[in-house]
Structure 1
């Protein structure tokens, strides 16, 4: 059977993801230094970064409800527009407090397009290729974050305000591309609004969703929180190298990530999600513990690569597992918001708690705690039913019959008349296991 081509809208979302990540990589390195230009201390400069993350966390539930009420496309474009305008305005900020408010507004827009983009990817992706799409989407974002600082260095001569203007213009271009590329006929939009709602409490009764929340919390705490906070300190305070070597370590992690990101997502469509979620979490846990025990810089680089490989195995796969839980035809805004909040909460709490542990004991113990969190996530996935076997009678492959190239090979329904839609009655999606 020939693999079906991905919808054009998927490539629009992937391209938009790349530009958004590129701009984030462009702005993030200069933001603390820009804040310091207003005469504030290190803590206040760091608060600019924290305010963005905090607003993402606080506004996530509202974003989920907006997706349910207004639809993914409207919320997606509105979120991008808010980030574009607030980022552009940052370039003209005249005080620290203006910058803080504008970045906080950017956090609201960020959570709006993050939740809605996940919803769009889930809705548009063919169920049998969810892992492949998640891998492509994650890879585009990773490449964007790597290219962003390189682009920023090319514009370094234009001053600290230039990256904000460049990012704002890029986002406005994305708005136009998304508007043109995601327009659909009125009948399709009406169908989207009529799609059955899938609430957070309903999702919590699905074992795979509970496991996804735990694994995304662990991802936020370990990969985006503790690693970013402690690795630079290990490089300087333990290995006694220049802080620039921490940037190399982070790049090596990204290289390990990129090596398996797309492949793992695609293979999870064939072999199931659990092998990659379990193995990836366990490998990343080993890498994180090894980081805390690094006696040399070479050891640190190898451990970073191993942790990156593990992260690359489970990151796209857990997004595909989330899509398996929701299905293609349900409106799951609050479910997606819960997933994002779990990751953001881990990013906020992880560095504080495990950083405190490292300060009171050692970096090795702090990183051991990080590895234990990932190992617990792997153990939970061992006892969780395979997400890709969850049946959604309203999904296109199930509804449209069992013949043809677009059929999901996992569909094992009995007695479903070809071409006859099966309406969702509010019952939980059932597992075929």
Structure 2
């Protein structure tokens, strides 16, 4: 993949860089919107389809499993045919997935749509990061990664409200149809705005061993991504219920505390992009951020606090954890062999899926057995382990 459109050393963003970044941000925002398309509509889909919650949960599980199985192969495909083609194809598949359910609207088609949407979801991380890595100057890469992550947070944040508003007036199938429409718009934008893919360079005979993609650093970073998912996925899912149960907070205060966490995460990501561009020790930045987030989260689990104090602590935890994300992405970029960024991000991002499958079961078990306070303590423990792994990765790199 040519890097001619990136301008290393340029003091400001070039027009091509800005155009590429906006297109990738749009695609990532839509991807997070699509991740949450079916979940907030479950009560309505239950009535429309006559399905049980377990049957509807199966559709969400299929989505995660399919993404986990296909993300690494898609990463290799990105490196072979180019991120623009693969990203556009993934967005087009999401249009088919959600549009077909809007048309047919049966439970069987819900399962089919979930499988297709899971394949489409596997495209985003490998294609997005490969495109940014080849088209953005290295001194702006951290900020590019941070805006990419921020756009994903924004897409997920608005999804429930938008979908439920459409469903209230026109039904659940119309809301799912809207998800297809924005996918189509994003596909067109990516195809028009992103620089064209160039033919992959033919391998040249070189002296010495060829860099291996599956190496100790990539394997370690995959485990690192599993730990991040374990630290945040399950806690995010059960945070409101745990605050109501363990701290006797009102539902409004519990929701406000989780909102503070999400807003803090979004703000932290933008700060983290600036830090990732300014300081090269990305593992150290990630370790300090995760450690600080772990301390704040542990305090929520240990101490009997009023709602305002819980909201402040979770807001701090969110900001510190968000601050780590651009440095996390820079760690993967540094570990990827030349020309294999898509495959590298595809492999390590599979760790999110693995952790995302296990974490809800672990944290759900704590809730079912009356240990709601330990939801935050277990999350803090995983954050501490994540910080230790980040330090180890930094020491190994240096």
Pair in the same fold by TM > 0.5: yes
- Preserved contact between residue 32 and residue 49 of structure 1 (Cα < 8 Å): no
Counterparts of 1:132 and 1:263, CA distance in 2: 9
1:351-362 → structure 2 map (5 Å cutoff): 351-357=360-366, 359-360=368-369, 362=371
Quick check: 1:102 aligned with 2:113?
Answer: yes
Identify unmatched segments of 5+ residues in structure 1. 388-430
Quick check: 1:373 aligned with 2:382?
Answer: yes
User: Which TM-score applies when normalising by structure 1?
Assistant: 0.79
- Preserved contact between residue 284 and residue 390 of structure 2 (Cα < 8 Å): no
| 1:333 alignment counterpart | 342
Counterparts of 1:347 and 1:368, CA distance in 2: 18
Give 1:245 deviation, angstroms.
Answer: 4.9
- Preserved contact between residue 73 and residue 182 of structure 1 (Cα < 8 Å): yes
| 1:50 alignment counterpart | 61
Aligned length in residues: 379
Quick check: 1:175 aligned with 2:187?
Answer: yes
Change over 3 Å in CA distance of 1:172–1:386 after alignment to 2: farther
Identify unmatched segments of 5+ residues in structure 2. 1-8, 205-209
1:195-214 → structure 2 map (5 Å cutoff): 202-207=212-217, 209-214=218-223
1:371-410 → structure 2 map (5 Å cutoff): 371-385=380-394
Quick check: 1:270 aligned with 2:278?
Answer: yes
| 1:233 alignment counterpart | 241
| 1:422 alignment counterpart | none
User: Which TM-score applies when normalising by structure 2?
Assistant: 0.85
Counterparts of 2:44 and 2:106, CA distance in 1: 14
Change over 3 Å in CA distance of 1:201–1:285 after alignment to 2: farther
**What is the root-mean-square deviation of aligned Cα atoms in Å?**
2.8
Q: Which has the higher contact order (CA 8 A, sep 6+)?
A: 2
- Preserved contact between residue 75 and residue 346 of structure 2 (Cα < 8 Å): yes
Give 1:170 deviation, angstroms.
Answer: 1.0
What SS class does the counterpart of residue 202 from structure 1 fall into?
Answer: coil
Counterparts of 1:305 and 1:228, CA distance in 2: 13
Quick check: 1:305 aligned with 2:308?
Answer: no
1:18-417 → structure 2 map (5 Å cutoff): 18-22=29-33, 24-25=35-36, 27-31=38-42, 33-155=44-166, 156-184=168-196, 189-190=198-199, 192-194=200-202, 202-207=212-217, 209-223=218-232, 225-240=233-248, 243=251, 245-272=253-280, 273-293=282-302, 295=304, 296-326=306-336, 329-357=338-366, 359-360=368-369, 362-385=371-394
- Preserved contact between residue 217 and residue 346 of structure 1 (Cα < 8 Å): yes
Change over 3 Å in CA distance of 1:236–1:100 after alignment to 2: farther
- Preserved contact between residue 27 and residue 163 of structure 1 (Cα < 8 Å): no
| 2:5 alignment counterpart | none
